[in-house]
Structure 1
Amino acid sequence: MPLQITGALGDPDLIRLPWETPLAEWPQHHLVDLPRGISRHVVRFARLSGKVYAIKEISERYARREYQLLWDLTRLDAPSVEPVAYVTGRDEGLDAALITRHLQFSLPYRAVMSGTLRPETLTRLLDALAVLLVRLHLNGFYWGDCSLSNTLFRRDAGAFAAYLVDAETGELHPMISDGQRLADIETAHVNIFGEMLDLEAGGLLHPSIDPMETAEDIVNRYHRLWEEITQSEIIEEVDWHKVEQRIRRLNLLGFDVAEMMVRRKVGTGRLIVRPKVVDSGHHQRRLLRLTGLDVEENQARRLLNDLDGFRVATGLRHEDEAIVAHRWLAEVFQPTIEAVPVPMRRKLEPAQIFHEVLDHRWFLSEEAGCDVGLEKAVRSYVEQVLVHKPDESALLPESDAGLDSAAAPESEAV
């Protein structure tokens, strides 16, 4: 069978990679070093035409299946890596290969969970993983192998956003059953407990973090979030404001309520209320609609808060929201990013830079006893903070991520 690449190819150079050679033996000039997680398979990263691809050796059956599942998740706007193609017909004895686009500014959990990891940071990672699992389940996706190793994390204002990078064991259904959900969360419990023990054995876990408590914490966080999103609520008819409070709570969690199911409880004056359709990305969609900026959920919330503050400070309370957003983009956001030297902009995403500048401005203003202004804050942030940060774009050096390249695990777990 001749070599065949199937997928949405955007780079013809992919066909010229040394597919006749086992992935573990590829020449270094084809590859780029990136922080790595743990995987059952050999994974390497190739850079072509300025883009970075993750390539995983896997059997033809699973390569084809995972490629389709990742496309289905992309179509559903679920947080996952983007599939590019799968390769079959390599030399005899060689598995097929799955190609995905590397998620820029993302980190495997081992690049975050070092000996300096604070419990607060672990809490944010677990929150991100719980949100990811809930979003997948709302889309009818059974993961089958939920773990930190199969997840990538991107900084999202003061939190993290989690992305699935391994759909090999996944299944997509019109609706997920309670049994499948519970099986997924039990798998997450077992896997995360093992991952915590592994970090502890390697001296990479803070002494205050208990592996068993961490594994149980992800289960509790998932159940709290799932119940908040899906549970029915019984209220008195006069307490309709509680429905509005419920919607606001869901919005703060980053979810939109597209419909509500409301019915009267037989023989009483009470109503049974349940969110019928819940979509994630509430703040993301609002910011994208107003400004065209496509960012993570918490980043969007922070930027929208600054936009609202701009509206008040400029006396534009009664002006059309779209006009205010255009002025904020031109007068605040873009000048802030442009004030950062070009070589340093690749260290973080623009929205993350803006968020950190706002934080830095607050600290400087607290010290000075007055608002120091955005221009001074940007200059101070670049000189005192950003210059010391590692590069988190696609070409992030392994040493900057706190990983020893000689001791790095085999792959990123695509």
Structure 2
Amino acid sequence: MPLQITGALGDPDLIRLPWELPLEEWPARHLVDLPRGISRHVVRFARLGGKVYAIKEISERYAKREYRLLWDLARLDAPAVEPVAYVTGRDEGLDSALITRHLQFSLPYRAVMSGTLRPDTLTRLLDALAVLLVRLHLNGFFWGDCSLSNTLFRRDAGAFAAYLVDAETGDMHPMISEGQRLHDIEIAYMNLFGEMLDLEAGGLLHPSIDPLDTAEQITSRYHRLWEEITQDEIIEEVDWHKVENRIRRLNLLGFDVAEMMVRRKVGTGRLIVRPKVVDAGHHQRRLLRLTGLDTEENQARRLLNDLDGFRVARGLRHEDEAIVAHRWLAEVFQPTIEAIPEELRRKLEPAQLFHEVLDHRWYLSETAGGDVGLPAAVKSYVDTVLVHKPDEKALLPEEDQ
């Protein structure tokens, strides 16, 4: 069987990689060293034409299956890595391979830890994992192996956004059943318990973190979020503000409400309200529509807050929102990013840089007892914070850019 690469190839040089060799034996000139999570398969990162690809050796059956599942998730705009192609017909004795695009600025959970995993970091990781699982279930996807190890995390303002990175055990359905949901949660519970025990055995878990309690937290966080999104709510006819509050709570969780289904319960004089939730990203979509900036949800919320503050400070309350957004981009966001030395901008994505500058400005202003201004905050942030941060983007040689 001849070598064959099937998929949406964006780089023809993929065919020229040394597919005749096991991934473990690929020459270093083809590879880039990036943090990798724990995997039952061999995974390597290859760089071509300024792009980085994750390549996983896996059987032909599962390579094809996972490729199709990732495309199904991509069509639904679900948070998962982007499939590129799968490779079959390698030399005898070699497995097939799945190629996905490396998610820039993403980290496996062990790379998020700075030495010991602390309780506040773990809480943010669990929140992100719960949101990811809910979003997958809303799309009818049964994961089958939910864990921190099978997830990539990107910094999202003060929180994290989670992305599925391993779909080989998954299955897509028109609608997920209650039994499938509960089974997925049970798997997540067992996997998380095992991961915490591994960290504890390696001395990487903060003494205050209990592995069993942590595993129980993922189930409770998931159920709270699922109920908030899907439950019916009975309200008195006059309490329409409760409907608005429900929508606001959903928006704060990052979910949009496409429509409200309202029905009168016979003989009670009450209304049963059930929101139809279509997807996460309420603030993401508003920021993208206004500015063209494609960010994570919490980053979008923070940038929109700054944009709204700009509107008030400039006396533009009655100006068209799109015009205000254009001025904010030109007068605030872009000058802030451009004020950061070019060689340091690659450490974090622009929205995260801007968020951290705003945080630093607040800290300096609190200490000074008054607003220090954005230019001073940028300089201080670069000199005292950014220079010490590790790079979270795949750094490529200049000739590959």
Q: Is the 8 A contact 2:159 2:298 kept in 1?
A: yes
1:327 equivalent in structure 2: 327
Structure 2 Cα separation of the partners of residues 324 and 85 of structure 1: 42
Letter in 1 for 2:203: G
Q: Is the 8 A contact 1:33 1:395 kept in 2?
A: no
The 3-state SS of whatever aligns with 1:263 is strand
Q: Is the 8 A contact 1:257 1:275 kept in 2?
A: yes
Structure 2 Cα separation of the partners of residues 256 and 76 of structure 1: 15
Per-residue deviation, 1:268? 1.1
Per-residue deviation, 1:116? 3.4
1:41 equivalent in structure 2: 41
1:49–1:12 CA distance, 2 compared to 1 (3 A): same
* Runs of at least 5 residues in structure 1 that lack an aligned partner in the other structure: 397-414
RMSD over aligned CA atoms reads: 0.9
Structure 1 Cα separation of the partners of residues 138 and 108 of structure 2: 24
The 3-state SS of whatever aligns with 2:37 is coil
2:148 equivalent in structure 1: 148
Q: Is the 8 A contact 2:118 2:205 kept in 1?
A: no
Structure 2 Cα separation of the partners of residues 87 and 116 of structure 1: 38
Structure 2 Cα separation of the partners of residues 206 and 226 of structure 1: 29
Over residues 360-404 of structure 1, what are the superposed CA-to-partner deviations in whole Å (9 max), with x where a residue is unaligned? 0001111111100001000110001000000000139xxxxxxxx
1:106 equivalent in structure 2: 106
Over residues 159-195 of structure 1, what are the superposed CA-to-partner deviations in whole Å (9 max), with x where a residue is unaligned? 0000000000111111100110000010000000000
Q: Is the 8 A contact 1:346 1:393 kept in 2?
A: yes
Over residues 331-383 of structure 1, what are the superposed CA-to-partner deviations in whole Å (9 max), with x where a residue is unaligned? 00000000000000000010000000000000111111110000100011000
Per-residue deviation, 1:56? 0.4
Structure 2 Cα separation of the partners of residues 260 and 353 of structure 1: 37
1:411 equivalent in structure 2: none
1:52 equivalent in structure 2: 52
The 3-state SS of whatever aligns with 1:347 is coil
Give the stretch that moved more between structures: 319-328 or 275-284. Answer: 275-284
Structure 1 Cα separation of the partners of residues 94 and 272 of structure 2: 58
Per-residue deviation, 1:276? 2.1
Structure 2 Cα separation of the partners of residues 296 and 243 of structure 1: 26
2:164 equivalent in structure 1: 164
Matched, 1:301 2:301: yes
1:326-345 alignment, distance < 5 Å? 326-345=326-345
Q: Is the 8 A contact 1:152 1:165 kept in 2?
A: yes
Structure 1 Cα separation of the partners of residues 111 and 62 of structure 2: 28
1:206 equivalent in structure 2: 206
Structure 1 Cα separation of the partners of residues 330 and 209 of structure 2: 45
Over residues 4-27 of structure 1, what are the superposed CA-to-partner deviations in whole Å (9 max), with x where a residue is unaligned? 000111111110111011111111
Q: Is the 8 A contact 2:145 2:188 kept in 1?
A: yes
1:79 equivalent in structure 2: 79
Structure 2 Cα separation of the partners of residues 271 and 111 of structure 1: 49
The 3-state SS of whatever aligns with 1:301 is helix
1:232 equivalent in structure 2: 232
Structure 2 Cα separation of the partners of residues 138 and 220 of structure 1: 18
1:169-208 alignment, distance < 5 Å? 169-208=169-208
Per-residue deviation, 1:327? 0.2
Letter in 2 for 1:176: I
Q: Is the 8 A contact 1:262 1:271 kept in 2?
A: yes
2:373 equivalent in structure 1: 373
The 3-state SS of whatever aligns with 2:336 is helix
TM-score by length of 1: 0.95
Structure 2 Cα separation of the partners of residues 267 and 253 of structure 1: 34
The 3-state SS of whatever aligns with 1:360 is helix
Structure 1 Cα separation of the partners of residues 207 and 49 of structure 2: 44
Q: Is the 8 A contact 1:114 1:205 kept in 2?
A: no
Letter in 2 for 1:294: D
The 3-state SS of whatever aligns with 1:192 is helix
Over residues 296-346 of structure 1, what are the superposed CA-to-partner deviations in whole Å (9 max), with x where a residue is unaligned? 000000000000000000000010000000000000000000000000000
Structure 2 Cα separation of the partners of residues 113 and 388 of structure 1: 16
Structure 2 Cα separation of the partners of residues 268 and 23 of structure 1: 66
1:280 equivalent in structure 2: 280
Structure 1 Cα separation of the partners of residues 113 and 233 of structure 2: 38
1:412 equivalent in structure 2: none
Letter in 2 for 1:285: R
Q: Is the 8 A contact 1:115 1:206 kept in 2?
A: no
Structure 1 Cα separation of the partners of residues 51 and 209 of structure 2: 37
Letter in 1 for 2:358: L
Structure 2 Cα separation of the partners of residues 372 and 114 of structure 1: 30
The 3-state SS of whatever aligns with 1:154 is strand
Q: Is the 8 A contact 1:115 1:203 kept in 2?
A: no
Structure 2 Cα separation of the partners of residues 295 and 40 of structure 1: 31
Matched, 1:393 2:378: no
1:356 equivalent in structure 2: 356
Over residues 63-83 of structure 1, what are the superposed CA-to-partner deviations in whole Å (9 max), with x where a residue is unaligned? 011001101101100000000
Structure 2 Cα separation of the partners of residues 115 and 32 of structure 1: 23
Q: Is the 8 A contact 1:3 1:90 kept in 2?
A: yes
Per-residue deviation, 1:114? 4.5
1:256 equivalent in structure 2: 256
Q: Is the 8 A contact 2:255 2:277 kept in 1?
A: no
Q: Is the 8 A contact 1:159 1:298 kept in 2?
A: yes
Structure 2 Cα separation of the partners of residues 211 and 218 of structure 1: 11
Q: Is the 8 A contact 1:113 1:205 kept in 2?
A: no
Residue identity (%) = 89
Q: Is the 8 A contact 1:114 1:204 kept in 2?
A: no
Structure 1 Cα separation of the partners of residues 279 and 100 of structure 2: 25
Instruction: List structure 1 segments (4+ residues) > 6 angstroms apart after TM superposition.
Output: none
1:4 equivalent in structure 2: 4
1:399 equivalent in structure 2: none
Structure 2 Cα separation of the partners of residues 279 and 263 of structure 1: 23
Letter in 1 for 2:91: D
TM-score by length of 2: 0.98
